[in-house]
Structure 1
Amino acid sequence: MYKVLIVDDEFFVRKGLIGLMAWSKLQFEICGEAENGKQALDLIERLTPDLVIVDIRMPVLDGLELIQKVKAEGEHQPLFIILSGYPDFSYAQQAFRYDVSDYILKPVDEQELTATLKKIANMLNQKQLLSITREKPLVETVIESLLQTEPSEQVMARIAHALELPLSSSYTYIIAEIQDGLPQGEIDYFPALQASLQRYFHREGQPLLVHVRAYNQYGFIVPQLLDEQSETERTNYAKLLDMLERELATTIALFIGHKASHLKQIAHSGSSAEECLNYRFAAGLNGIFMASELLELPLYYFDVDEELHSKLIYEIEANRKDGYNSAIDAIFIVFQERHFAQGAVTNTIRRSMIAIINIIRQLEGDEKDLRWLDELLHWQMKYRNLKQLKHVFLHFIGEAAEYITEKRGEKSEGSIEKVKKYIDSHYKENIYLKGIAAEFHMNPVYLGQLFRKNYGVYFNEYMLSLRIEEAKRLLRQTKKRMYEIAELVGFQNADYFATQFEKLEDMTPTDYRNKMTGKK
């Protein structure tokens, strides 16, 4: 990050400028504020900012005087951007005489300032790169600059000389992801990784471009693989992966970008390696994810099919270990075969968790009682492959199934008998599966499947048969009108009642009444 000092005599202008920009995304951070040029002089020497953004008119010492004084006397020489409320050519002319980086009029336009900051960040990157020496390379700056911009020929020549690397050669950016099942940064693998790579590429004692990324990842730029001419790329990377896992004593995945034919073109290799991260759950890749093999394959961004999800929830409610294990196996096979993107995997896991939590809450339980809940909620912080995720998911599901059974406090068979008795007593009312499920603290899908398993018919079919049988009794024994009978047996609409009656009895309610009473 490059440091920025804001200098303006108006408090709200300073705060507005600080809040206007996403500074960190542009490689900058605010290191201080000053309300006049004199304060700024002291802060420049003390804080050594890389960039000073200064108002042109201020009390005590104005912006131009500050720049003049720093240029003439300062030990530290930052870059300057001038802000001015005066579109006066003479001011701008004088400012550029002092070699300021830009002259921006107030009110500040976000896009204009963003473009200026990007230009300055690139300039500072190039400046740092030019200071590289073989003894002390600025590795982080080198890699980040190569991945973000295409440096000038002068800078590239200096990098190549310092690192003893040819410019025109085959280079690849690789992301090595440590999959140790531990939170980010718990173990520092950087020294061991760097040493292993230096040995593998025969560069002991020489610089190698390796840097630390987020999420337990390390990025590095590698030259042509040693056996590239004699073996396939995948075979060579398999050897590299095997060596790294053996020497670092942990599970690792390699995400390998496209080859670049020149060191300054490594940004394309870096972006393609980033894209490979989306394929981490694809099948059969054995820890080696290559852009050349993967990036033409479509990713799946949706959820698993409703049938699979419903089966899992049903088996959890029934607390059948073989059943929910089988459902989980099927879900994880789908993840791999359809190339689920990480977001789609996350959504599927979250959907199952929400369904389980809702069941627990209906039973007046507390999901926080589940020891594996927090582990699964934050799985992305520790678990980075399907095997690890599946292990955590299985533990959570098993614990949740036992908890739900315990909270329900009785066997499923006993519960379903009570449900049937409830239906038999209330079928004339406006009852429905979801409402009954809530009454008995069950998931509606689970209840529907359990009812059919025990009684051989679907819930709706059983309800309809009860209502039609009662309607037949009323048709035989009373002279009530059709709409009255429909309402008495639980139908809200007389036409719908007539349609359903005819479907089951192959005759209309009127024909049935006539037949039963002997009328023609």
Structure 2
Amino acid sequence: MLRVLLVDDEPFILKGLKVLIDWNREGFEIAGTASNGEEALEFVRHNQVDLIMSDIKMPVMTGLELLKRIREENITDAYFVIVSGYADFSYAQQAMQYKCTNYILKPVKEEELVEELRKIAKLSLHQEQEKEDTKKMEQAYLARNVISLIHGNYDKLNLQYVEENMKLSEQVRYIEIALDDTGIAEELSDEEKWAYQRELYKACVQFLKKYETHCIFNVSGHEKVYDIGFVYCDYMATEEGINEEEYLKSFLSCLKETLNIPILMLAGKKVKGIANIAKSYSTACMLRSVRGFRVKKEIYDYEDEVQVTNNGIVLCKKSLDSLLAAIEQNNRSAIQSSVEQFYGEMQQMEVAGDIVTLNINYILFQLIHLAISQDDNVNQEEILRLISESSFEEGIKRGSRAHLTRFAYEYADYLAQLRKNVSHGVLADIDKEIREHYSENITLKQLSEKYYVNSAYLGQLFRKRYGQSFKDYLIRFRMEQAVIRLIRTDKKIYEIAEEVGYKDLDYFVNRFIDIKGCTPAKFRKQTRCGEI
């Protein structure tokens, strides 16, 4: 509703204007009335108003004086309509100098007032759209500058713009907010994950409210990381009267309640000033890579997970290098003995848990380096995380010797697959499997086991070859088969759905709409009427 202030020194005219039309039906509400310009000026100083309708000749302060004061002092940008009994061009001319919207003569006719209100409503809608467009452009430009800082690729102009347009604190930290797709990767298509990512961004913006610019969409740019970047500042928790941990838990709880999907936060280390945010971002990325070896949580804090608090730092480099060599050679007996040797040293030295963590981090980053040297076209950090997750089973402690041994076995197999360049023959076989068994419940995991290829690696190979995920490729192939049946047969929609692999008719119809832009029934009708 647009709020209206009526200004006239004659009470019966104010009363008449109120009842002349149905204001609410036209999208307006009477916010208040005033008997002269001075009263009106005081009202707009303390109340939000979208339209002022004022007489000219009034005691204390005239309508023209009111208009002039409002515009010169920039009190409000409300639309202003003069309602006067004087058909004097000089009055109208003065009013227009101060951006008066219109000049209406008394007595005011119902049709004339309705027409004027509709014109103002249309102007207001256009103005709001322009404001919204401007706001989005400004936010997008700010986000680009923030991303430059986050990635460490910026100059003084980037830094200056961010510092001038964001409320910052002395210490800041980068926090990645992302879908926790562990265990649901096979169930959701890329389109569904992107949709969830956009919903996640909206939920973040709603929670942050006036600090929404601290939330940046898709910072990583990785094809399988559905993330939102969040620049956290110390004052955010302070303003709520809570500590940082409570603030992040409250944020996460709100997101989960809104979206009803698993979400996690990866909090990088605190740094001094926004100019150093790239250091915080790199530590959040580190958490993303190594969290498979941590106790499963919803919030991972770099300060707790990676930082070493002991005075001395112990790195069992000799036994670790032996383990790395065994993994590279895919020697299972050597892997087992190296893991035993490593944990034996840790136990003998009676070191704290964070020292074990430091040593495992060393192994993980060396393995990423090994894989990148053989194939730098895939996201090796993501593959490492997925392998560490898949090698974990219930009853085994994360980061334990059993977990590390299983992980080392799987990673050794993966490196062997990299050396063999398995993509040549396997992808052709998988494509054939899809074409022959698309109506069955086939998954990437099943195919990876059948062809002895790590599922994470196979997924990225598939994406690299076809430009989309295995799930999306399968859905599109099934829909093309559905199209053939819709055109060539008179089978019912549910029968076609079952033949191409969908027992859930609603799911089939929704996927068909996503890809073809209409329902299967409408598609069939259009093809038979020659509309496609």
Q: So what's the TM-score if we normalise by structure 1?
A: 0.34
> Quick check: which has more Rg, 1 or 2?
1
